[in-house]
Amino acid sequence: MNSSSHVITNDLPGIAERSFTVLILLVSTGAFMCLVTVQGQQPDEPGILGKLVAGSIYLTTFLLLVRHCGFWNTVWRGRFVIALALFAVLSTVWSDDPSSSFRKGISVGATALFGLYFASRYSVSQQIRLLVKMCGFSMVCSLIFGLLELGQSVDGVPGWYGIYVQKNSLGRMAVLSLFVFVYMAKIDVNSKWWARVGVVLSLALILLSRSMTAIMVLAVMIALQVLLRAFRRSKRLGWSLLTSGVVVGGIILRWALMNIQATAGAVGKDLSMTGRMQLWIFSGFMALQRPWLGYGYYAFWEGMKGPSARIWVALNMGIPHSHNGFLDLWLSIGLVGVIIFAIGFITYLREALSFVEWQSPDSPWPLMYLAFFFLYNLTESTLLQPNSLFWALYAAAAFSVSAEPESSPVRVSIGGRQIAHSG
């Protein structure tokens, strides 16, 4: 049986529900926003129609969650995710922009509920199958948009942006898509040939996007995948490989620090990582002004109207976020919010490591996604983002690894090897 057989629904999702799920997954990536983007301007707030559509999606998700998944049980399983979203809403009390904090807080909570619905309604292998449909559509459309030069990027930086507004957005989606296709090939042998096509297409779009962040995250993710495979084959082999990797990595890091200018040039960056170092320093300084509770959820980065004005003036550039998800979390809901996230992430990471032990092709997926999510938030900001695929999938990974004891697969030992068996 599949290691994720703890899904608690009694009836299988129909084609309409699956189609709804894939559509929301696609919309939450920010797909096709390049068609309405004006270069140099961040996307505007959605109008009345956009808010009505979002409200309808939230309501539909809530009704599906209540009907099929057991609302309170699902919320409890994702309690650290929900607690973080609730704290974002609570920040309305001390926020510099209470209206924005409340509206965005409700949206990020609803996004988390969609992620919890996604994981409670669909097993891990079913999640991957639905993600394959969405990612396949995204990658094919991005290839077409790139070839025909359709749409407009928000910053005009060289590199393909596909159906998204920025090259790093395409690079991030392409890295996620690549691993979705890799795991599709693992769970369905009949799909191997076109899953491999998806891997090649995703890799091509990573290179065409010219996103150095995507390339570096991809390299780390491949190394992690190799390490996981070694550990699943033999713990001795895994520890040997990990030790060797740490030693080699330490040598490379020492060389890079001693030749930092050459290293920066090799990856197409300057010593400031294209201004990120200064941005992180200024953001950290501002966070220290309100260390415990922050400025309120979505109340800091408001251009010249908010506290971010000091950074905009100091750096002489318009910046929508700090390019670090953890710094942005600190700025918005303080160290209290960071601690809530850290407790939840460490808990889910530990559970994901245990989940890998179930010998099924899809069991490493939640761990791989948590690694992806962490790595990308080092230089981008996708943590606690409303209407974001990446925040929703974080909630889904959290739920997927939090199997209840009575519904978890049971280990059965055969010939000294443990396998997963439905209880």
pLDDT tens by residue, 156-206: 788 999 999 999 999 999 999 999 999 999 999 889 999 999 999 999 999
Is 140 within the bounds of a domain?
yes
pLDDT band at 128 (very low <50, low <70, confident <90, very high): very high
Is 86 within the bounds of a domain?
yes
Is 419 within the bounds of a domain?
no
Is 36 within the bounds of a domain?
yes
Is 414 within the bounds of a domain?
no
Q: Which of 10-24, 126-140, 210-224, 382-396 has the lowest mean pLDDT?
A: 10-24
Q: Is 420 in contact with 1 (CB distance < 8 Å)?
A: yes
Neighbour-count burial for 305-319, b at 16+ CB within 10 Å, e otherwise: ebbbeebbeeeeeeb
Total tally of structural domains belonging to the chain: 1
Is 214 within the bounds of a domain?
yes
Which domain does 88 fall in, by range?
15-403
pLDDT at 8 over 70: no
The pLDDT of 10-31, averaged and rounded, is 90
The letter for the amino acid at 274 is T
pLDDT, residue 68, reads 85
pLDDT, residue 284, reads 96
Is 316 within the bounds of a domain?
yes
Rounded CA gap, 106 and 117, in Å?
16
pLDDT at 404 over 60: no
Is 76 within the bounds of a domain?
yes
Rounded CA gap, 124 and 403, in Å?
12
